Amino acid sequence: MIDVGIYGATGYAGYELLRWLSRHRHARVLFTTSESQAGRSLAEVFPGPLDAPLLAPDDAPLGDADVVFLALPYGVSALVARRARDMGVRVIDLSADFRLAAPQDYQRWYNHVHPAPELLPAPYGIPELNRAALQDAALIANPGCYPTSVLLGLAPLLRAGALTDPLVIVDAKSGVSGAGRAPKQNTHFVEVSESLAPYSIGRVHRHVGEMQQEAARLSNGIEPQIIFTPHLLRINRGILSTIYIRVPPEWSEEQLRACYTEAYAREPFVRLLPAGTLATIAHTAHTNLCTLSVTLAQPGLLIAVSSIDNLVKGAAGQAIQNMNVMFGLDETEGLM
Amino acid sequence: MIDVGIYGATGYAGYELLRWLSRHRHARVLFTTSESQAGRSLAEVFPGPLDAPLLAPDDAPLGDADVVFLALPYGVSALVARRARDMGVRVIDLSADFRLAAPQDYQRWYNHVHPAPELLPAPYGIPELNRAALQDAALIANPGCYPTSVLLGLAPLLRAGALTDPLVIVDAKSGVSGAGRAPKQNTHFVEVSESLAPYSIGRVHRHVGEMQQEAARLSNGIEPQIIFTPHLLRINRGILSTIYIRVPPEWSEEQLRACYTEAYAREPFVRLLPAGTLATIAHTAHTNLCTLSVTLAQPGLLIAVSSIDNLVKGAAGQAIQNMNVMFGLDETEGLM
Amino acid sequence: MIDVGIYGATGYAGYELLRWLSRHRHARVLFTTSESQAGRSLAEVFPGPLDAPLLAPDDAPLGDADVVFLALPYGVSALVARRARDMGVRVIDLSADFRLAAPQDYQRWYNHVHPAPELLPAPYGIPELNRAALQDAALIANPGCYPTSVLLGLAPLLRAGALTDPLVIVDAKSGVSGAGRAPKQNTHFVEVSESLAPYSIGRVHRHVGEMQQEAARLSNGIEPQIIFTPHLLRINRGILSTIYIRVPPEWSEEQLRACYTEAYAREPFVRLLPAGTLATIAHTAHTNLCTLSVTLAQPGLLIAVSSIDNLVKGAAGQAIQNMNVMFGLDETEGLM
Amino acid sequence: MIDVGIYGATGYAGYELLRWLSRHRHARVLFTTSESQAGRSLAEVFPGPLDAPLLAPDDAPLGDADVVFLALPYGVSALVARRARDMGVRVIDLSADFRLAAPQDYQRWYNHVHPAPELLPAPYGIPELNRAALQDAALIANPGCYPTSVLLGLAPLLRAGALTDPLVIVDAKSGVSGAGRAPKQNTHFVEVSESLAPYSIGRVHRHVGEMQQEAARLSNGIEPQIIFTPHLLRINRGILSTIYIRVPPEWSEEQLRACYTEAYAREPFVRLLPAGTLATIAHTAHTNLCTLSVTLAQPGLLIAVSSIDNLVKGAAGQAIQNMNVMFGLDETEGLM
């Protein structure tokens, strides 16, 4: 039995971790922390299916855990990671703190000196793209929700060297839980409810750094340049990324599709949809799946559509999948 | 041409006032104020169909207005009302400050000494129920959204003395714009979006005071005792009040319906639906209408359902209707 | 291992059954049927987390199953139930066919001669209220979604003989999945999306018969008379029932609460909320829980609020809970 | 006073026409027709703010109208248009029947021989782009909702000859009212509500033909090739089109913005947003506005975002605007 600690259990990702772990046969939750709700119980904060005492982070028996999940703000997370590593406890970090391999990239995108550069680089936790590096890892950087969606949609083409133009256009739409639980004007129900709003478009969203780093690493051809347009969608969960890629005009849809089939045929959580079926957010809601569709709009232009649940494959589910890989368990354990 | 000032133009009710007044042929907006956004223009704050400079409240040329609409927090509103009245400017107050006739009732429900008791009592602005008192009024208390919906649904029976039991059960559901524009945890999109949540149930919501006062005034029989259960609905606009009333067991649905027909046959904004058609929120969205259905569930128990748009008939639209009555204009002017 | 057959796997309840059963450690799905999609696979129909071949109902190896779940239209369901029982296969029926003990009640409410009266009466499957009758049962009538929500909210008071007036007012709100998967005008997105609509109010909704039968059976005092006002809510899942009950004026909220505590203290799926916390739909979404709040609005009038997920505790989850009881398993197996 | 007839008054666009025309000072509605609801009144069909008798199309006094709006299915519309023109009545057609200038294009995109080719070509009714051709026109083809949104977002760059690559990528998202009122599986509330679904992507949606025709006409440089990816959005109204255009790398955002300023500075219904503000669907809901933002993602790639209400600027509002142009009225009459 793997003893698990969860830091930040009252945020959306932390709660989702607990929900899925309650179904895991080889892991049990040893403790849960909350900065703001310490001293209360989870069922007091939200009277749903789960309960657990909420400890102040400093009161948690960190050393007794085999692995901890950190669902904490960036900057804070790395400090807990350092303490955990000092005690020999493994870490799966859901914040952005270990996603960028170089401290200077972190500083550029997060405007903050990296709090624990000695732990860098950490393997980037998308098992479908980076499995070998995650086995027996001591620290895994759990990816951002948008990057998971985009990289799964792009990787087969990047590996195949199929890009004919560096510009890759990603028009992404995310549910509001991606913006976290703290109330803000732009997540007020009335503002979101009858709208759809793009934000941080072009090359400025923080996830661009992470996507660029991994896309460059995956590419066997020209280095992609990602144009990223996120939109805030009036939905709780789910990300749909519609990706426009220039490919060799002589490649048929079948050839392009074959890149994806080969990459994902044995993956339990990635589902390439048959020709004519397009990925939608409903496919993956409340699951750890990624569904993908690929459509040749015209010779030379492919539209890949990628759907995930931002709180599952985009956060908590992928973190558990990473734990399963880390400890050599069946990768699907607890995630069906 | 009536010169109008609007205090609090960037809240939902204030904005709605401006939208409807832009279509009014006999009124024009002289100034608009905003405490938080003073110095900007309305189109900067929200790039929609309207624009106007936003003045600090103290900078507004109050004395040049014929009438001012106050879409301000309670407590603040009464002070502006006093200044307006001192200058001879008429007032339609959308806050709660003048809805309760007795200062001690205000203190009880709002936990606050009344800031301008010398202006009490002010006529209560539901024209369909209180038209005579509003003509030529200098100050009108624009009702709360829930009370408008409930009182229009109850009044015909109260006047007919048809209650056989004081307990009237009101199960009400309101869109989120009723909670105002400031972001809070319970109006965060994710919290509202897949839920329905009752709040302040029983006899504790502040609108109970106002409903009780007016229901007692309207009743020609026993004094009703309103049990009020509001629910927060995942919708921007609209209130549906489902009202349960014990009536004489020998009264038929036709007799009960006749009370309503008589009350509202000539009212342009209240629509009694034919037998078999139930009121829904969609009927009245973006209109100044109230639709009503009455159904005899079994002998002795009537279910009245009342639908309004909380921002129109429940706030800005009714305020303009009150202005039309106040100035002797066609009551529907600007409101179709 | 229990071998399970599912009839009607492509409807919302059928799909939900499959989803939960995929996590059950002591049951496995032997076959799934679909009238309209026979010959296809489930993943072709909906490319989500599940897959299974869809058989025509007549092609299913009924005799090989230990138990079958029938998620079929009323009228059709009873005929499959008869065939199953003839072959000694146990049945959990999610349709309305076996909920009413007397065939003449079925005829009254469903306007249809009962297709298999020899199988009546079947035990009514709310384990919290009727557990003994469900153990080792050969056929269980899985209750309607509304009745589950209402009866769990009412039962403790009925048993305590606490009603002082037969009229019990139930103002219920249900998500659209309760109306089934076939597209109709009143479930068209645009019609539902910015509305809230009551329907079949008073004493006419088909679930009234079922609620009356069970409420009468549970009551140790006067026989309740339920006034039932369902509303169609712009949400996919969830039922909130707000229930108004007249109780002895001298009973305190604590006394009334004690009836509920006693009834449900050891129930894993019913959660009585602490004073001051009201039940909301979010609490129970995607769970087999029922959360309940009880509030004394004023002496003599209790407001009970009951929340369930109509597809889980209101359909598929309760059906699995019934299977667990039927086969003597831990009642929570597969349902966390 | 202009006497107006409306064919197809019970669809979403027809109803919207009536709503806006009720505020028009120089037009009055002479008759309204409905194929399916003939003989009833509008308020019986939908008990909202409007009422009018619904005539069978053949019973309408067509000859008495000055102009008719046709909110009818394609194929049907052209036949009514022919009858109107034969009687000298002007026509604004909201169907697709007159949008494509060449009958063979109609046949290609609509798979149907053109029913009234003698009336082709009709001026294409986006006043901001084609005003001169609309003045005194006898027949105007009211554009599709998507094309209106896309062409307003593209036109200034096309006219400036700013495209460096023919491929223009349009990622568009539309509210469900765009799919019409007839219930279908893909517009069932439950299917739409927690999803976002692309459909007809690439070069196959029927609106591509119309966009190509007009974009080619507007272009002073290379002919654009539009890649069009519509998505069905869980909202009633509104279209947001996110448009990716390759422009000369040496052009600054200011230069590009200047093209838009020049094009729209005097347009009452098109609002170019200041740098840093992005267009959202909320801006234009229930208005005849189009809001536009332009952002240089990096040198050589512009992202234009265009927002309209698909039922107003994308249908009924633009139709009235076209009527105003046709009859030489103030273009904003009835549309504020």
Which chains does B contact via 3+ CB–CB distances below 8 A? A, C, D
Please identify which of the residues C92, C145, C294, C296 carries the catalytic annotation: C145
C214 interfacial to chain B (CB closer than 8 Å): no
Separation CA C140–CA C144 (nearest Å): 13
Classify the phi-psi angles of D100: left when phi > 0, otherwise alpha if psi is within -120 to 50, otherwise beta.
Answer: beta
What residues of A are annotated to the active site? 145
pLDDT, tens digit (0-9, with 9 covering 90-100), for B54-93? 999 999 999 999 999 999 999 999 999 999 999 999 999 9
Compute the C-alpha angle B29/B35/B41, nearest 5°. Answer: 55
Nearest to D188 among C187, C194, C235 (CB): C187
Q: What is the pLDDT of residue D290?
A: 98
Q: How many CB atoms lie within 10 A of CB D146?
A: 25
DSSP string, A237-275: S-EEEEEEEE--TT--HHHHHHHHHHHHTT-TTEEEPPT
Listed as own residue / partner, the contacts of A63-67 with beta carbons closer than 8 Å and 24 or more positions apart are A63/A87, A63/A89, A64/A3, A64/A30, A65/A3, A65/A4, A65/A5, A65/A30, A65/A31, A65/A89, A66/A2, A66/A3, A66/A4, A66/A90, A66/A327, A67/A2, A67/A3, A67/A4, A67/A5, A67/A91, A67/A92, A67/A323, A67/A326, A67/A327
Q: What is the pLDDT of residue D23?
A: 95
Q: C182: Cβ–Cβ under 8 A, 6 or more apart, which residues?
A: none
D253 interfacial to chain A (CB closer than 8 Å): no
The reply to whether residue B194 touches residue C281, judged by beta carbons under 8 angstroms, is yes
Distances (CA, A) of B244 to A116, B119, B228: 63, 35, 11
- 3-class DSSP assignment, residue D144: coil
Give D104 to chain B, closest Cα distance, Å. 40
Separation CA B268–CA D60 (nearest Å): 28
* Strand ranges for chain B from DSSP E: 2-7, 27-33, 54-55, 67-70, 90-93, 139-141, 167-174, 197-198, 225-232, 239-246, 270-272, 290-298, 301-308
The reply to whether residue B48 touches residue D282, judged by beta carbons under 8 angstroms, is yes
Q: Are A8 and A307 in contact (CB under 8 A)?
A: no
Name residues 54-113 of chain D within 8 A of A (Cβ).
Answer: none
Q: What is the pLDDT of residue D304?
A: 98
Strand partners, D124: D141
pLDDT, tens digit (0-9, with 9 covering 90-100), for B95-142? 999 999 999 999 999 999 999 999 999 999 999 999 999 999 999 999
φ, ψ for residue A218 (rounded to 5)?
A: -80, -20
D285 interfacial to chain A (CB closer than 8 Å): yes
The reply to whether residue A277 touches residue C22, judged by beta carbons under 8 angstroms, is no
The mean pLDDT value for C136-158 works out to 98
Separation CA D227–CA A127 (nearest Å): 33
Widest pairwise Cα distance in chain D = 63
Q: Are A284 and A246 in contact (CB under 8 A)?
A: no
Classify the phi-psi angles of C258: left when phi > 0, otherwise alpha if psi is within -120 to 50, otherwise beta.
Answer: alpha
| Residues of D with Cβ-Cβ distance to C193 under 8 angstroms | 176, 189, 193, 234-236
Q: Are B308 and B332 in contact (CB under 8 A)?
A: no
φ, ψ for residue B5 (rounded to 5)?
A: -115, 145
The reply to whether residue B284 touches residue D22, judged by beta carbons under 8 angstroms, is no
Nearest to C57 by CA among C84, C35, C40, C81: C35
Which H/E stretch holds residue D305? strand D301-308
The reply to whether residue C297 touches residue B199, judged by beta carbons under 8 angstroms, is no
Residue B303 DSSP symbol: E
Q: D102: Cβ–Cβ under 8 A, 6 or more apart, which residues?
A: D120, D121
H helices within B64-182, ranges in order?
A: 76-86, 103-110, 127-134, 145-159
Nearest to A22 by CA among A40, A43, A44, A45: A43
The mean pLDDT value for B291-307 works out to 98
Q: What is the pLDDT of residue B124?
A: 98
Q: What is the pLDDT of residue C25?
A: 96
pLDDT, tens digit (0-9, with 9 covering 90-100), for D134-150? 999 999 999 999 999 99
| Residues of D with Cβ-Cβ distance to B28 under 8 angstroms | none
Share of chain D above pLDDT 70, in %: 100
pLDDT band for position A81 (cuts 50, 70, 90): very high
Rounded to the nearest angstrom, the gap between the alpha carbon of residue A154 and the centroid of all alpha carbons in its chain is 15
Residue D204 DSSP symbol: T
Q: Are C279 and C309 in contact (CB under 8 A)?
A: no
pLDDT, tens digit (0-9, with 9 covering 90-100), for C203-219? 999 999 999 999 999 99
The mean pLDDT value for C113-119 works out to 98
Q: What is the pLDDT of residue A238?
A: 98
Q: What is the pLDDT of residue D297?
A: 98
Query: Six-digit token pair at D90?
Result: 């002007």
H helices within D10-61, ranges in order?
A: 12-21, 42-45
The mean pLDDT value for D231-248 works out to 97
Buried b (16+ CB within 10 A) or exposed e, A36-47: ebbeeebbebbb
What count of Cα atoms within 13 Å lies in the side-chain half-sphere of residue A289?
A: 21
Nearest to B332 by CA among B16, B6, B23: B23
Q: Are D11 and D76 in contact (CB under 8 A)?
A: no
D23 interfacial to chain B (CB closer than 8 Å): yes
pLDDT, tens digit (0-9, with 9 covering 90-100), for D64-111? 999 999 999 999 999 999 999 999 999 999 999 999 999 999 999 999
pLDDT, tens digit (0-9, with 9 covering 90-100), for A274-319? 999 999 999 999 999 999 999 999 999 999 999 999 999 999 999 9
ipTM of this predicted complex? 0.96
Distances (CA, A) of A211 to A180, A203, C115: 20, 11, 61
Tokens 């948690």 found at: A60
The mean pLDDT value for C312-316 works out to 98
The reply to whether residue C193 touches residue D190, judged by beta carbons under 8 angstroms, is no
Rounded to the nearest angstrom, the gap between the alpha carbon of residue B222 and the centroid of all alpha carbons in its chain is 25
Closest residue in D to A170 (Cα) is: D171
Separation CA D207–CA D201 (nearest Å): 11
* Amino acid (1-letter code) at residue A331: E
pLDDT, tens digit (0-9, with 9 covering 90-100), for B225-243? 999 999 999 999 999 999 9
pLDDT, tens digit (0-9, with 9 covering 90-100), for C3-20? 999 999 999 999 999 999
Give D143 to chain A, closest Cα distance, Å. 23
Q: C166: Cβ–Cβ under 8 A, 6 or more apart, which residues?
A: C222, C223, C224, C225
Strand partners, D3: D28
Separation CA C281–CA B192 (nearest Å): 10
Separation CA A149–CA A143 (nearest Å): 10
Tokens 């510009």 found at: A167
Buried b (16+ CB within 10 A) or exposed e, B37-62: bbeeebbebbbbbbebbbbebeebeb
